[in-house]
Amino acid sequence: MIPKRTFDAVIVGGGGAGLRAALQLARADLKVAVLSKVFPTRSHTVSAQGGITAALGNVTEDHWHWHMYDTVKGSDYLGDQDAIELMCRNAASAVYELEHMGLPFSRLEGGRNAGRIYQRPFGGQSQRYGGEQAVRTCAAADRTGHALLHTLYQRNIAARTQFFDEFFALDLVRDAEGYILGVVALEIETGEAWLIEARATLLATGGAARVFRHSTNALINTGDGLGMALRAGLPLEDMEFWQFHPTGIPEVGCLMTEACRGEGGYLVNRQGERFMPRYAPHAQDLASRDVVSRAIAEEIEAGRGCGEHGDHVCLKLDHLGAALIQERLPGIRDLSIRFAGVDPVHEAIPVTPTVHYMMGGIPTNLHGQVVAPVRYGPEEPVPGLYAAGECACVSVHGANRLGGNSLLDLVVFGRAAGEHMIEYLRENRYPRALPRSGVERALERLARWDRPGGDERVPRLREDMQRILQRHCGVYRREDLLEEGIGKLDAVGARLADAAIEDRGRLFNTARLEALELENLLPVARATLVCALARAESRGAHAREDYPARDDDHWLRHSLYFLAGDQLDYKPVRLKPLTVEPFQPKERSY
Ligand SMILES: Cc1cc2nc3c(=O)[nH]c(=O)nc-3n(C[C@H](O)[C@H](O)[C@H](O)COP(=O)(O)OP(=O)(O)OC[C@H]3O[C@@H](n4cnc5c(N)ncnc54)[C@H](O)[C@@H]3O)c2cc1C
């Protein structure tokens, strides 16, 4: 047997969601371990730029119910309204809690609210249910995620959370009755496998946009938690919905935050025309991200793209002046100079829609408990297993996420999961017997990469997969393209059996990590294509050329994908909020 450590709870992931949940548990004097494959403050949360949305009303009059309306509409009515109510109603307290923990928010200057948290306009946000633009997104310059993650990390150190830095979780350990009893993990430095036993396990492994060729995401966003859930026989929800952020730097993928447009920047085409008013007369450049991304794709398609190849549009900030750019968007200026070779104080930045965020994920309820249908009956919680953050689908973002709502999702549902885990641990005081088989399966995954194989190599397979997703599952999708994509992905999957790594050493073997990550990316890619092919309608980020309309009669429902036999199942959208009247689906325009 491998070495074992025992905790009350284990959290896989040291990003915003994992750290917020861990803090709840550690402050309740429980023994909690956080595993992270990179040093926690290097998690992707650190790169969140624009802000965290909450109806504080510091700049314009505001109400959480207006935020809720915008989020439901932004989700193209696929978001579950009970979860959205919970998130928007708790947003202000979650932000004040972060402020009191020491998060250094930017501050308003002058006026009645001088000194209060700075807020900026963001896409898809309105006052009074679709009226004037709301100013709702709380920011620490353009480094909000950096400030948030470091604050949470420091609080966890103070609360004595135990960190396992650079530990790579391989698989969940599940017993015959379906209880999750912890994880098997690889210590990256030594190459040694550990069993981390716990009565409650939370997956907070973040996004998986590395299934695509061009993404704004960190290299580590490989959907490991999703792979672990699928291999444990659990489904993934709504995997056809991937957000393309309108403004990534072409080829590089580096994000130019929506805050650029929030601060007054706008998009122009080859003719220098500000084109968004043609697509979204009211919200213009601050329409929802799916709307802006499709507008850019159409401009490029119509031959109005910029540059030698006409393959991008431009983001103009120069009219804002050097002082404002330096104060509110300093990181953007640095990134633009470094990665696009353009100083936004003087020139427009080249941008193109770039994969940014996964709306789908591991299905959970409002307490962060992972839920799965029981033999195709109604869903039930999986005992001992939780998920929060981008890897989870609760679902507050539905078919399209609004900017600033992910950081909010992390802290609201990270905290909710932590609270429920405390209750669960009180009710389940004693450890259950560990099944040998669960551990052995994980070790077999490791051993597989110790064996010599054929000529196939992991980086090549990964690149082929990324090109397939980029080409066959882009901003616009079509039946024949998706079918062809699935065929090509099958071929990549078949080649995996023959793949090997050249470095079979134990210490800090990054080739082995990349192989293990590929085993998680491939089923995520597959789930994406299979769900996208099945959904014969256009909704939010899922735009089908062959089914351009939204079809509520047939498709106002969530997709569930199971690895075994590529099976699909569906579940209804929860249209009933907790305390307020539902927002009925209607046509969405900005
Ligand atoms: C460039 C960029 C800018 C963004 N800006 C904003 C913004 O302004 N506002 C907003 O609301 N949202 C923004 N987002 C989205 C938001 O930042 C993310 O959705 C969110 O931070 C994800 O947090 P998380 O805690 O779920 O996961 P992450 O922060 O991605 O953390 C995942 C953690 O899981 C660990 N992990 C993963 N796999 C394993 C494994 N196998 N074993 C052990 N550990 C593992 C990682 O080490 C890491 O600690 C942005 C995203 C990007 C990419």
Digit-coded pLDDT (tens) for 440-456: 999 999 999 998 888 99
Atom of ligand 1 nearest to the CA of 16: 25
What is the whole-number distance in angstroms between the Cα of residue 391 and the centre of ligand 1? 9
The answer to whether 268 and 348 have CB atoms below 8 angstroms apart is yes
What is the whole-number distance in angstroms between the Cα of residue 355 and the centre of ligand 1? 14
What integer pLDDT is reported at residue 376 of this predicted model?
Answer: 64
HSE, CB side, 13 Å, CA atoms: give it for residue 553: 1
- Cis ω on the peptide bond leading into residue 395 (within 30° of 0)? yes
**Measuring from atom 3 of ligand 1, which residue has the nearest CA?**
48
DSSP code of 336? I
Neighbours of 547 (CB within 10 A): 18
Contacts of 292 (CB under 8 A, 6+ apart): 123, 246, 267, 276, 279, 280, 285
- Region 208-224: mean pLDDT is 97
- Region 264-279: mean pLDDT is 97
What is the whole-number distance in angstroms between the Cα of residue 549 and the centre of ligand 1? 32
**Measuring from atom 2 of ligand 1, which residue has the nearest CA?**
48
Distance, CA of 133 to CA of 125 (rounded, Å): 6
Distance, CA of 127 to CA of 158 (rounded, Å): 39
330, pLDDT greater than 80: yes
The answer to whether 318 and 349 have CB atoms below 8 angstroms apart is no
The ligand 1 site (C-beta within 6 Å) comprises: 12-18, 35-38, 40, 43-45, 47-52, 144-145, 167-169, 204-207, 216-217, 220-221, 224, 255, 357, 389-391, 403-407, 410
Distance, CA of 65 to CA of 84 (rounded, Å): 10
The answer to whether 453 and 500 have CB atoms below 8 angstroms apart is yes
Catalytic residue, candidates 143, 289, 462, 588: 289
What is the whole-number distance in angstroms between the Cα of residue 274 and the centre of ligand 1? 32
How many residues appear in the chain? 590
- Region 141-150: mean pLDDT is 97
**Residue 299, Cα to own-chain centre: how many angstroms?**
27
Least confident span in 323-337, 403-417, 432-446: 432-446
The answer to whether 35 and 183 have CB atoms below 8 angstroms apart is yes
- Relative to beta strand 32-36, strand 236-237 is unpaired
Distance, CA of 156 to CA of 63 (rounded, Å): 31
Distance, CA of 174 to CA of 209 (rounded, Å): 27
Atom of ligand 1 nearest to the CA of 168: 42
What is the whole-number distance in angstroms between the Cα of residue 38 and the centre of ligand 1? 12
Confidence category of residue 66, pLDDT binned at 50, 70, 90: very high
409, pLDDT greater than 70: yes
- Relative to beta strand 192-203, strand 4-12 is parallel
First to last CA, the chain: 59
Per-residue model confidence as pLDDT tens digits over 368-398: 999 999 876 789 999 999 999 999 999 999 9
Distance, CA of 246 to CA of 350 (rounded, Å): 11
Distance, CA of 32 to CA of 22 (rounded, Å): 7
Active-site residue flag, 436 = no
The answer to whether 313 and 299 have CB atoms below 8 angstroms apart is yes
Task: Count the helices and strands in the chain (H runs, E runs).
Answer: 17, 22
What integer pLDDT is reported at residue 453 of this predicted model?
Answer: 82
Per-residue model confidence as pLDDT tens digits over 340-371: 999 999 999 999 999 999 999 999 999 999 99
